[in-house]
Amino acid sequence: MSGFIALDGVSHRYGGIQAGPEGILAIQDLTLSVGRGEFAAVVGPSGCGKSTLMKLVTGLQFPFAGHVMVAGEEVRQPVKIAGMAFQAPTLLPWRTTLENLLLPLEIVRPHRGEIRRNRAAYVERAEKLLASVGLDGFGSKYPWQLSGGMQQRTSLCRALIHEPQLLMLDEPFGALDAFTREELWCVIRDLHAVRGITIILVTHDLREAVFLADRVFVMSARPGRILAERKIDLPRPRDLEVTFSTEFQDIVHELRGHIVKARQ
Amino acid sequence: MNSSPTLMIRLAPWLFTVALLLLWEFVCRAFNIPEFFLPTPMAVARATYEFWPAIYRNSWITLQTTLIGFGLAVGFGLFLGLAIGWSRTIYAGIYPLMIGFNAIPKVAVVPILVLWFGIGFMPAVLTAFLISFFPIVVNVATGLATIEPEMEDVLKALGASKLDIMRKVGIPRSLPYFFGSLKIAITLAFVGSVISESIASNYGIGNLMLQAQAQFQVPLIFAGLVALAVEGIVMYWVMALLEQRMTGWAQRSGFAQT
């Protein structure tokens, strides 16, 4: 049985297919599978092709060899059922927070045809989503009037507003201070619990991966392959306190061993 | 005194202008500089008064010429900038040509324009156009070229077309660059029209100054310069106002506000 997301023997070069055989291999013979509703984390040394993995799964690029399947179909175009958030919040400075949230709805079908007629309903939906991440009443603010953590929350909301089945997170908390980061871990944890959405989190923070994920994949140095796969059995819902438990520390330690090997 | 700093800032342009004029007047008198070499501000003011009908009429012509050329530059520059930002092929093809074209001194083009259109209105409009479209193209294209790749990914993954990305991100993003470039372009447009007027026209401030020079009416030459400066400042101010109105979101820095 293949999962909701399945990569099978995937190889890819930087610069996409156009780079030709001379292009540097970003990932090689990579196989992984993520089930529907699962929270998967991908960790690895920097430059191991984690971002390439993101692009392949969302259909922004297509593999040089192998197959990428999402929701039972081979990816041949942007998948449209995914939301994405990155390390930089990439909000549009000329739009208010609320208008930034509505942006995906102006693009994605069927909403793009309805948003003009049904704006009030969509605005209500956006405001509810903002409230769910602790941003009530910030809709009318511009991005630069928000703190870094708030901008990142907005960015997460934008990735979720069209109710995607898949959420792709590329080091979304990398630029935040430690406390804000842990706060946002909890935001993501709760979103995952409530919505049952499939999430792939790319990160180099092992504690983050272990705290949030059901399974952690360790990637090798370039060209990236999956070196190890670790199921995280810590009971949910997880409290931040769990990060101080011996069990948690042991898993982090074990994963760290893999990374150290991967860097050699 | 809370209001005094802002009051100073509001008065500063006038004070500095008056100070410059006083210094000019003083230097001319102190060193006894002859009027045919450097007339005093008073002499320039007298010439302005004396030749007011001619200055007024020709200023108006220069302004019209400049604005028509500038308008063409805005339309064409916007179009070309968007085209260059749209496609890497168009960019690769057109950019070297544009740089080469921009390197040509526009004064060298005027004789050709005269050959094609005769002297007067058309060469002046076209020179103003040719000299001022380049910064608009470059700025619009820069705005488009600096879209964050992540932003593009977010939208593409949703199935956004290139046109969607252009409409939702590219164009709004390049507007501050565009309005910023208008300030440069309008100033250049004046340069273009006056160059052409002084080489090949019977009208305009450029021509007026040329005639004044032929007749050795040095204060009138300077009066022409002042008229151009005033027009330039007013149009620059209009463009700056437009920029502030249209893209206030891009100007939130407190830097240099005091």
**Could you read off the pLDDT of B43-59 as tens digits, one per residue?**
999 999 999 999 999 99
Tell me, what amino acid is at A32?
L
- Residues making up chain A, counted from first to last: 264
Residue B254 counted as domain residue: no
Nearest to A98 by CA among A134, A117, A81, A122: A122
Residue A99 structure tokens: 């208008």
Strands A198-203, A39-43: pairing kind: parallel
Residue A30 counted as domain residue: no
Question: Inter-chain contact A82–B160, Cβ cutoff 8 Å?
Answer: no
Residue A201 structure tokens: 């989190």
Segments of chain A with pLDDT less than 70: 1-2, 15-22
Q: Which residue has the tokens 């944890």?
A: A189
Per-residue confidence (pLDDT) for residue A114, from 0 to 100 = 81
CA angle A158–A226–A199, rounded 5-degree value: 20
Residues of B in contact with A60 (CB under 8 A): 153, 156-157
Residue B173 counted as domain residue: yes
Query: Could you tell me which chain A residue has the CA closest to the CA of B172?
Result: A94
- pLDDT, one tens digit per residue, over B82-122 is 999 888 888 889 889 988 988 999 889 999 999 999 888 99
Question: Inter-chain contact A92–B155, Cβ cutoff 8 Å?
Answer: no
CA dist list (Å): B243 to B78, B179, B246: 15, 5, 5
Contact between residue A20 and residue A81 where contact means Cβ atoms under 8 Å apart: no
Residues B114 and B11 in one domain: no
Per-residue confidence (pLDDT) for residue B192, from 0 to 100 = 94
Q: Is the pLDDT of residue B257 over 60?
A: no
- pLDDT, one tens digit per residue, over B198-211 is 988 889 999 999 99
Residue A3 counted as domain residue: no
Query: Could you tell me which chain B residue has the CA closest to the CA of A142?
Result: B249
Residue A120 counted as domain residue: yes
Residues B27 and B77 in one domain: no
Least confident of A135-144, B183-192, B222-231: A135-144
- pLDDT, one tens digit per residue, over A18-69 is 666 667 888 888 899 999 999 999 998 777 788 888 889 998 888 888 899 9
**Band of residue B236 on the pLDDT scale cut at 50, 70, 90:** very high
Residues B26 and B54 in one domain: no
Residue A2 counted as domain residue: no
Q: In sequence order, which residues have a C-beta less than 8 Å from that of residue B98 and are 6 or more positions away?
A: B80, B134, B137
**Band of residue B258 on the pLDDT scale cut at 50, 70, 90:** very low
Query: Could you tell me which chain B residue has the CA closest to the CA of A159?
Result: B154
CATH of the domain at A176: 3.40.50.300
B68 or A194: which leads in pLDDT: B68
| Total of domains in chain A | 1
**Band of residue B256 on the pLDDT scale cut at 50, 70, 90:** very low
What sign does the CA torsion over B121, B127, B129, B132 have? negative
Residues B10 and B98 in one domain: no
Q: How far apart are CA A240 and CA B240, in angstroms?
A: 52
Residues B162 and B132 in one domain: yes
CA dist list (Å): A84 to A54, A62, A152, B154: 9, 17, 12, 6
A117: closest CA of chain B, how far (Å): 19
Residues B6 and B67 in one domain: no
Per-residue confidence (pLDDT) for residue B205, from 0 to 100 = 93
Residue B95 counted as domain residue: yes
Residues B239 and B215 in one domain: yes
Residue A155 counted as domain residue: yes
Residue B58 counted as domain residue: yes
3-state secondary structure chain A: CCCCEEEEEEEEECCCHHHHHHCCEEEEEEEEEECCCCEEEEECCCCCCHHHHHHHHHCCCCCCEEEEEECCEECCCCCCCEEEECCCCCCCCCCCHHHHHHHHHHHCCCHHHHCCCCHHHHHHHHHHHHHHCCCCCCCCCCHHHCCHHHHHHHHHHHHHCCCCCEEEEECCCCCCCHHHHHHHHHHHHHHHHHHCCEEEEEECCHHHHHHHCCEEEEECCCCECEEEEEECCCCCCCCHHHHHCHHHHHHHHHHHHHHHHHHC
Residues B64 and B179 in one domain: yes
Residue B200's domain spans which residues?
43-249
Residue A72 counted as domain residue: no
Nearest to B156 by CA among B142, B166, B146: B166
Residues of A in contact with B250 (CB under 8 A): 93-94
CATH of the domain at B81: 1.10.3720.10
Question: Inter-chain contact A90–B151, Cβ cutoff 8 Å?
Answer: yes
Question: Inter-chain contact A93–B250, Cβ cutoff 8 Å?
Answer: yes
Residue A210's domain spans which residues?
36-60+78-263
Residue A17 counted as domain residue: no
Per-residue confidence (pLDDT) for residue B253, from 0 to 100 = 55
Partners of A224 in the β-ladder: A27
| Total of domains in chain B | 2
Residue A16 counted as domain residue: no
Radius of gyration of chain B from its Cα atoms, rounded to whole angstroms: 23
Chain A contact probe: residue of B146, B148, B154, B167 with most A CBs at under 10 A: B154
Nearest to B48 by CA among B37, B38, B59: B59
B18: closest CA of chain A, how far (Å): 40
